[in-house]
Amino acid sequence: MADTVTITDNSTGKSVEFPIKHGSHGPPVIDIRTLYKEFGMFTYDPGFLSTASCESDITFIDGEKGILLYRGYPIDQLAENSSFIETCYLLWYGDLPTANELEEFSGIITRHTMVHEGLRNFYSGFRRDAHPMATMVGVVGALSAFYHDSLDIHDERSREISAHRIIAKLPTIAAWSYRFSRGEPFPYPRNDLGYAENFLQLMFSYPTEEYEPNPVVAKAMDLLFILHADHEQNASTSTVRLAGSSQANPFACISAGVGTLWGPAHGGANEAVIKMLTEIGDVKNIDKYIAKAKDHDDPFRLMGFGHRVYKNYDPRAKIIRKACKEVLDVLKVNDPMFEIALRLEEIALKDEYFVAKKLYPNVDFYSGIIQHAIGIPTNMFTVIFTIGRAIGWISQWKEMITEDQQRIGRPRQLYVGAKTRDYIPMGER
């Protein structure tokens, strides 16, 4: 039988066959590109619940089974064996590097971590109490005003240099957003340190004393970056692709992604988790909050629970939960929030409401606790997410821009506004 779906317009009796496309994993898709031409109708799918917006060979998620693959490699294997820099190489170039390739790539990233001195001045234009994500959106967008030599999106080498710059400079920009909010000096990057170690010194070192990053903390940081590196066509990545489809420069596109990630329904959820756990305050209050989350008339939601794609335990949450316990043990941190989180999870996983709606902990549920334990301030959580996700955004951007038939993204709509009407002069309204 042909691999097609037949759609019939019952009002006219016209039937058309549409091809079904199969990927290497995941459900097949119906190729409806000619639907409008055939029927003069669009599809209606707000929130893209049933729409594949592109072909991609970067990341695969099976939400039912709780599987996440980067370029085919399971996230748990990467978390166990890889480093963030190696994961960046994998996502950008498509394969794991050889030892020489990794060394060369790592060296390039290390030597791109400084930012143009003029960019430092940007920070003084912001209010001191600005959220670090607000300064991130501005400063990342401003990169395009400083690095003109890599803005030719049609040139492969130019795209690669932009990617190197984004991976390398985001930790510097991110940490300076934090330092600015505290009125502290902006340290320069250190080339003798690895990616995560360098980020920690940018965040926490002082010119007045030596800074030695804690290896446990650096490992946890690197893990967080790996786990956040890509997540196929989520809201911020789709934003980056859509912005890029107009042939905007990569820095402008990434800054659009940063803005999208900031929302509490997306990357801002880890900050919301900590606020929620602080508000719950004690395990004895959990039942009250579970009841609030289940009450349709109450806007309260259990932050860090539920996911558009995962209808099973988010594999990243499982990894962070384990790492969280290890970090708390090693650092000898006795965080009551972790206890509340574990108990909350235990109750929610048994509760009929959460079970029926397949609401499991997502990556944000534990990532806030681990960051809290290693001394990252709450308003930096989404910024950390941004550093990790930037490689995913730029890799997806490259894939989109190099498609054979790359065209501007332009969704259609179901218009439900006023019918055509004549302008009413002011005096007659």
Active site residues: 266, 307, 364
Q: What are the C-alpha distances in Å from 343 to residues 109, 283, 340, 346, 368?
A: 41, 7, 5, 5, 16
DSSP letters, 261-311, are HTSTTTTTHHHHHHHHHHHH-SGGGHHHHHHHHH-TTS----TTB--SS-S
Q: For residue 67, give the 3-state DSSP assignment.
A: strand
Q: Of residues 143, 200, 221, 359, which one binds ligand ACO by CB under 6 A?
A: 359
Of residues 27 through 66, those in contact with ligand ACO by CB under 6 A are none
301 makes contact with ligand ACO (CB under 6 A):
yes
Give me the long-range contacts of 236-240 (CB less than 8 A, separation at least 24). 236/260, 236/261, 236/266, 236/267, 236/389, 236/393, 237/389, 237/392, 237/393, 237/396, 238/48, 238/53, 240/393, 240/394, 240/396, 240/397
With respect to ligand ACO, which residue has the nearer C-beta, 222 or 364? Answer: 364
The binder of ligand ACO chosen from 357, 403, 406, 411 (CB under 6 A): 357
Residue 275 binds to ligand ACO (criterion: CB under 6 A): no
Question: In angstroms, rounded to a whole number, what is the distance separating the alpha carbons of residues 218 and 194?
Answer: 9
Q: What minimum distance in Å lies between the beta carbon of 301 and ligand ACO?
A: 4
**Closest separation in Å from C-beta 399 to ligand ACO:** 21
Q: Which of 293, 320, 369, 376 binds ligand ACO (CB under 6 A)?
A: 293
Cβ neighbour number for residue 147 with a 10 Å cutoff:
20
Q: Interface with ligand ACO by CB under 6 A: which range of 3-11, 133-141, 142-150, 362-370?
A: 362-370
Least distance in Å: CB of 65 to ligand ACO? 17
Q: Among all residues, whose Cβ is closest to ligand ACO?
A: 306
343 binds ligand ACO (CB under 6 A): no
Return d(Cα 267, Cα 260) in angstroms, integer.
8
Question: From CA 290, how far away is CA 352, in angstroms rounded?
Answer: 11
* Residue 290 touches ligand ACO, criterion: CB under 6 A: no
Site for ligand ACO in 386-405 (CB under 6 A): none
Residue 315 interacting with ligand ACO (CB under 6 A): no
Nearer to ligand ACO, 297 or 428 (CB): 297
Residues near ligand ACO (CB under 6 A) are 265-267, 269, 293, 301-308, 357, 359, 362-364
